[in-house]
Chain A
Amino acid sequence: MNKARNNPLNMTLMHGALILYTIIALFPVFVILINSLKTRKAIFREPLALPSSDSFSLVGYQTVFKQGDFFLYMQNSLIVTVVSIFLVLLFGAMAAFALSEYRFKGNTLMGLYLALGIMIPIRIGTVAILEMMVATGLVNSLWALILVYTAQGLPLAVFILSEFMRQVSEDLKNAGRIDGLSEYTIFFRLVLPLVRPAMATVAVFNMIPIWNDLWFPLILAPAEEVKTLTLGSQVFIGQFVTDWNAVLSALSMAILPVLILYVIFSRQLIRGITSGAVK
């Protein structure tokens, strides 16, 4: 390939920079993980020390499993994240297909309108959203969160996917039309498989903010049976006393599901980011 990549000095520098960044990015996760396995005293005495035979303790995990409905929270979080991502991908891809494929009046305007959401944070509309949810009786249900996150994810999804769909060969879609495929079949069977890397990109971009969100669960669904993991972990944070063991253990376990989802999407994601750039 090019010279820069073969030069050993460049290689060292490049890897050095990447390793440094990896350390910085993983450090907080590492601190959470080691401290979740220590006694309360050890956490405060030496936060950066690894758990030793003295300081090792699973008390945090025990608290989490005993107190609070950890698995229910985890399940709620998973339902909300997975369903929201599914809806974002489905509706985002459909809108993107219509915008990129069909000529109709106001096509550009519609595209701009849908892209506008990227620039305006959805939290600005929190009061209005809450009023709407109260009026429709959706407060304290997972649907409230799913609908809000779907709305939040759509603009970026439409924007990214319509760019990718424009690159799908026109001839291929026309061949489908001549062979008698319906527009839905063309969309689901021909176009969607070809934009899979872009779909993975959109999924990952949406997944993490949804999983980590505290704002909307706190406002729209604070009831015990619909609490998400981030909100559920708050029970251990009190005004006067915070059970750090429990908080850190809950957070450690909260990382797992997103990590698994990320691994599923990441192969596709890398192809999505580099497609066009590397060919």
Chain B
Amino acid sequence: MTALTLTNVNKSFGDVHVLKDINISVEEGEFVVFVGPSGCGKSTLLRVIAGLEDASSGEIRIGDELVNLTPPSKRGIAMVFQSYALYPHLNVEKNMSLALKQEGQSKEVIAERIAKASTMLNLQDYLHRFPSELSGGQRQRVAIGRAIVREPKLFLFDEPLSNLDAALRMNTRIEIANLHRQLSASMIYVTHDQTEAMTLADKIVVLRDGRVEQIGAPMELYNNPANKFVAGFLGSPSMNFLPAGLVTEGDSRTLGIRPEDLRLSDGDGLAAQVSHVEHLGGDTNVIAHAGDHQITARLFGQHAVEAGQGVTLGFAPEKAYYFDEAGARLRG
């Protein structure tokens, strides 16, 4: 069964057309990540799904129900915000129980759900603390707990990790992935970070300028990007784009090659001047220039390459992608 279906959803603020003909479906239990650069409309799309903004046109269905005119609290959703958005005057327990009280749940149900959620998130010791007495990571867990206790049909996450520091971000990411496995609920997660998208998603939706660029499983998008934007957005370091003329005389296409597919070669390849080397231990990132074009190569293991040195970078022809001038993928 589908958990969410968007059909031709459009959203305009005055003259500004923010979302353009969005068509997405989310299956039951699926973890879908909306990813894109800032300003691409991904947060607006999430707010339209939540009902915090009205769609200008198009249909939004949660489960089988058309919810265009349903207020947020009746849509069977729960949302986790970037800034946590905990109620400052309520303690952790009351923060989590407020929505249930509004729904008119009985005391027993509320107590049971809070107990379950706080065990799952290790919040038992903090139930009587106020948000101001918690660390960032704990606050985020309370915000997630507040969503869990509602047992929603659909979870919405709006960049939940961007206020956390790097170490905590990784831990919380794993926690969210575990949570998804435990609850097997449908989740939509918005982020601008492609690592989060790749690691968490069952399905990624890449957005740019209010349009869906491509939808697919992480590896599908990585191995088979529909266009230059998707190819360049996913993967770190990002894909190298070069005029194909550098390799084959007279070729006017754009050549895309991932840094990890380049290797040092004795024979054929691109001649380049090394400008910087990053030794990471497990990997070595070589930044080189072929004429005006910067090329990044990610070599596995440790290599004795130095800045200023000339290298030849080879690659297997089947690893190369070709794009036309407008950025569309050319196959074959």
Q: Which residues of A contact B (CB under 8 A)?
A: 169, 171-172, 174-181, 189-190, 193-194
Q: Does B262 contact A (CB under 8 A)?
A: no
Q: How many residues of B contact A (CB 8 A)?
A: 25
Selected contact of B85 from candidates A174, A180, A189, A194, CB within 8 Å: A174
Contact in complex: B85, A193 (CB < 8 Å): no
Contact in complex: B52, A174 (CB < 8 Å): yes
Selected contact of B73 from candidates A172, A178, A193, A194, CB within 8 Å: A178
Q: Which residues of A contact B315 (CB under 8 A)?
A: none
Contact in complex: B99, A174 (CB < 8 Å): no
Q: Which residues of B contact A179 (CB under 8 A)?
A: 73, 98-99, 102, 146
Contact in complex: A169, B99 (CB < 8 Å): no
B54 to chain A, nearest CB (A): 11
Q: Does B89 contact A (CB under 8 A)?
A: yes
List, sorted by A's number, 13 A–B pairs whose CB atoms are closer than 8 Å: A169-B85, A171-B81, A171-B83, A171-B84, A171-B85, A172-B83, A174-B50, A175-B85, A175-B87, A178-B50, A178-B72, A179-B98, A181-B73
Selected contact of B102 from candidates A169, A174, A181, A194, CB within 8 Å: A181
A174, A179, A190, A194 pick with most chain B CB within 10 angstroms: A179
A266 to chain B, nearest CB (A): 22
A177, A180, A190 pick with most chain B CB within 10 angstroms: A180
B254 to chain A, nearest CB (A): 41
A193-B79 in contact given A177-B52, A177-B72, A179-B73 (Cβ < 8 Å): no
Contact with A along B77-108 (1 / 0, CB 8 A): 11101111111110000000011001100000
B204 to chain A, nearest CB (A): 24
B50, B73, B78, B146 pick with most chain A CB within 10 angstroms: B73
Q: In the complex, A172→B88 CA distance in Å?
A: 9
Contact in complex: A174, B81 (CB < 8 Å): yes
Selected contact of B89 from candidates A175, A177, A193, CB within 8 Å: A193
Kindly identify, within residues 228 to 264 of chain B, every residue whose CB is under 8 Å from any CB belonging to chain A.
Answer: none
- For A176, the closest partner residue in chain B by CB is B87
Contact in complex: B88, A178 (CB < 8 Å): no
Contact in complex: A190, B72 (CB < 8 Å): no
Q: Which residues of B contact A189 (CB under 8 A)?
A: 87, 89
Q: Which residues of B contact A176 (CB under 8 A)?
A: 87
Q: Which residues of A contact B84 (CB under 8 A)?
A: 171
Q: Which residues of B contact A174 (CB under 8 A)?
A: 47, 50, 52, 72, 79, 81, 85
Contact in complex: B99, A180 (CB < 8 Å): yes
Q: Which residues of A contact B99 (CB under 8 A)?
A: 178-180
B323 to chain A, nearest CB (A): 39
